[in-house]
Each structure stands twice: as C-alpha cells, then as structure tokens.
C-alpha cells in the first residue's frame, strides 16, 4: 500500500510525477488554496502533507491528522507552519532552501531598479497616452550604480543580492543577528547596526525570516531614521514591514519609494491605501516564479515528503530532531 498524501495545489509536472510514483496522492486542483474546512477534512487519514505558504498548518489541523508523519512545504519560508507543534507530535517538516536563492535575488534587484528608474510609472504614462515629448525632468529617478545598499538579513538570498550589487559598484552595508564573515571577506559587505544601516542606505532590501522578533521590524519609528530619498524593497515576508506605517512614510515623503513582492495582508486587496500611491510598486509574491526554479522547488518538496514518509531524514529538514530522536 502506498502512503496517503494530500497535496494542496497542483505542482509542476515533474514534481507531481515523483509524488504519484511513491504516494497515493489526492491533489487540490483549485487555483485558490483549499478552504480551511476542506483542508481539515482531507488530512484525516493522511500520512503526508505537501503544503504551500498559503496553507495554515497549525496544531488544530495536526490534531485532525493522527497518522501524519511528514509535512513538506513548497517554500523556503515556513512561517505558515507551527513547527514546535509538529515537533511535539513527531512530524518531520521539510522546506525548499537554496534552489530559489538566485531567482529571488533577481527579483529583488529588478524591483530595486524598477523603483529607482520609475519603470512602472513610465509604462503607465505611455499606455495612458501621456508621453508627449522628451523632457529634462520627466520621470527622473535615482542612480543605482554607486549608491549605498543596506541588506537586512545576510543569508543565502541577501548574499546573492550583494553579489549582484557589486557589479553595480554599490557600497554594501548589512545587518543580521549573526555576522556573516564569509560574505564580509568575499564581497566586502560591511556589518553595521540596524539603525546605522537605516540612516546610511540609499536602498534597503529585506531578506530575513518572519519571526516574532522581525514582525513589523520596519515600523513608523524606523522610517523616520531613513533618508528621504530611500527606496525600500521587500521580497521576504510582508509582515516584516508595517504596511500602514509604510503608507504614511510614502505619502508624507518620509522615504521616496517602495517596491514590494510581499505584503500584509496577502493577497493585497485592490482597494488597499498603498495602491493609491504612485511611489510604490507591488507585485504578487512572485520572487521565486521562474519555471526552472518552481520545478526545482517541486522536486525538492517531493523528495522531502518521500524521505519523511519513509522515516528518513529529508534533504532539507526544518526540525531534524524528529528523525534524530527516532533513531
């Protein structure tokens, strides 16, 4: 008998094939996430769950799934899962780090460039028939080359952004709770306290996990510390930035511009106050969205799931102690 699993969205074909080869899989094929009651109903008899960042996997849900052995999240972030609750129940959790690093860094850089050079405003102006002439001050923006970039979170993705920024001759500052001496040596990034990074950076890009400590890390008080010309980019998790404080900061020109791949809430409703402003770009959480990367994420998620179902250590465990204890 194959282990029974529930997959909360259709993944790239290669990943689905791998899952079907080993598991008896039921797949939610909707475009939107399965509603909570559907998820609760479908986990009753499963051995494994392949979830997305849009699924809330909490203790209540785990209690509905007494046979659940493995949860595999199709994302590097896992703030949607109650990890201590999984660990207490002996459920191994896996995620998909590494494979999406460069693709996410590409988008962070794309957002930075688009905001600095007002690309989205320019496109809107053209489509609206408002491009009347060439003019000395039309859509003037800011230079990226030679500017100071502050990176909050110097892990894999922060480091990949730093590598790109070096090619643009940027001065690189970073803040993290742990120093990254390898990045300091290899990329010449300079560690500074958070408040100094906020005060000295022309661009700030966020690459930290969402935790209790980073929730609303970028608050009204912290916007006040930034340069009035500062451009903020967030491709990490929406709640790291207090979006209403961001709205005030952008409206009052406390900072110049923001470019967001992630928001709070998600999805961002079309009538959100931020979307009334011209100095913000918002895209719908697409940082890892290249065909190649989404396929690699799927294969990695499938491997994590299958290893967990076999009682083996997944290639990318979040709570490895579950398997270590069982040995």
Q: Give 29-37 contacts, CB < 8 A, sequence gap 24+.
A: 33/8, 33/9, 34/8
299 binds ligand DGY (CB under 6 A): no
Among 11-19, 75-83, 130-138, 301-309, the segment contacting ligand DGY (CB under 6 A): 75-83
* Beta carbons of 180 and 187 less than 8 angstroms apart: no
The residues facing 280 across adjacent strands are 258
**Part in contact with ligand DGY (CB under 6 A); list of ranges 13-21, 73-81, 82-90, 189-197:** 73-81
Q: Residues binding ligand DGY: what is the number (CB under 6 A)?
A: 6
> Least separation, in Å, of the C-beta of 50 and ligand DGY?
14
Q: Which residues are catalytic?
A: 237, 266, 285
State the minimum distance, in angstroms, from the CB of residue 239 to ligand DGY. 13
Binding status of residue 61 toward ligand DGY by CB under 6 A: no
75 binds ligand DGY (CB under 6 A): yes
Largest CA distance in the chain: 72
301 near ligand DGY (CB under 6 A):
no
Distance CA 220, CA 216 (A): 9
Q: Measured from the CB atom, is 139 or 292 closer to ligand DGY? A: 292
Nearer to ligand DGY, 75 or 218 (CB): 75
- The SS3 assignment for 259 reads strand
Q: For ligand DGY, which residue of 53, 57, 165, 240 counts as binding (CB under 6 A)?
A: 53
Question: What is the edge-to-edge ordering of all strands in the sheet holding 257-260?
Answer: 190-191, 171-175, 148-152, 203-206, 231-234, 257-260, 280-282
Exposure string over 261-289, b if 16+ CB within 10 A, otherwise e: bbbbeeebeeebebeeeebbbbbebebbe
Using the rule CB under 6 A, which residue among 77, 122, 238, 320 binds ligand DGY? 77
List residues bridging with 281 in a β-sheet. 259
**Minimum CB distance to ligand DGY, residue 194 (Å):** 22
Judged by CB under 6 A, the chain residues 84 through 113 that form the site for ligand DGY are 100
How far apart are the C-alpha atoms of 217 and 190, rounded to whole Å? 21
* Among 7, 71, 76, 255, contact with ligand DGY (rule: CB under 6 A): 76
Scanning the structure block, which residue is given the tokens 């935790």? 211
CA angle, 93 as apex, 60 and 88 as ends, to 5°? 50
Nearer Cβ to ligand DGY, position 118 or 294?
294
CA-nearest of 322, 234, 216, 313 to 280 is: 234
- Which C-beta is closer to ligand DGY: that of 19 or that of 157? 157
**Least distance from ligand DGY to the Cβ atom of residue 51, Å:** 12
Please select the residue that binds ligand DGY; options are 51, 243, 279, 288, rule is CB under 6 A.
288
Q: Which one of the spans 7-15, 72-80, 105-113, 201-209 is the region binding ligand DGY (CB under 6 A)?
A: 72-80
* Closer Cβ to ligand DGY, 100 or 322, answer by number: 100
C-alpha pair distances (Å), 218 with each of 204, 206, 288:
11, 10, 23
Site residues, ligand DGY (CB under 6 A): 53, 75-77, 100, 288
């Amino acid at each position: 008998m194959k282990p029974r699993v529930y997959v909360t969205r259709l993944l790239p074909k290669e990943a689905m094939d791998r899952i079907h080869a080993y598991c008896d899989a039921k797949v939610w094929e909707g475009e939107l996430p399965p509603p909570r009651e559907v998820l609760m109903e479908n986990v009753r008899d499963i051995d494994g769950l392949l979830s997305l960042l849009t699924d809330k996997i909490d203790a209540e849900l785990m209690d509905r799934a007494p046979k659940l052995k493995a949860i595999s999240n199709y994302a590097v972030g896992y703030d949607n899962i109650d990890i201590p609750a999984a660990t207490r129940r002996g459920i191994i959790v896996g995620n998909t780090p590494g494979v999406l690093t460069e693709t996410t860094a590409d988008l962070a850089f794309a957002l930075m460039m688009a905001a600095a050079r007002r690309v989205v405003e320019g496109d809107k102006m053209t489509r609206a028939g408002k491009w009347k002439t060439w003019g000395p001050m039309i859509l003037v923006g800011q230079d990226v080359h030679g500017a100071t970039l502050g990176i909050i979170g110097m892990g894999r993705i922060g480091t990949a952004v730093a590598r790109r920024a070096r090619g643009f001759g940027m001065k690189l500052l970073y803040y993290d709770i742990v120093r990254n001496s390898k990045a300091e040596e290899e990329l010449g990034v300079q560690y500074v306290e958070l408040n100094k990074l906020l005060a000295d950076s022309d661009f700030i890009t966020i690459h930290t996990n969402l935790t209790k400590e980073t929730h609303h890390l970028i608050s009204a008080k912290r916007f006040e510390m930034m340069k009035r010309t500062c451009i903020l980019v967030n491709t990490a998790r929406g709640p790291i930035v207090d979006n209403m404080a961001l709205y005030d900061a952008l409206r009052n020109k406390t900072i110049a511009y923001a470019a967001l791949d992630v928001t709070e809430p998600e999805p961002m409703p079309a009538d959100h106050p931020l979307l009334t402003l011209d100095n913000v770009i918002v895209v719908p959480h697409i940082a890892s969205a290249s065909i190649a990367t989404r396929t690699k994420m799927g294969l990695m998620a499938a491997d994590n799931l299958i290893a967990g179902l076999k009682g083996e250590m997944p290639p990318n465990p979040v709570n490895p102690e579950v398997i270590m204890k069982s040995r």
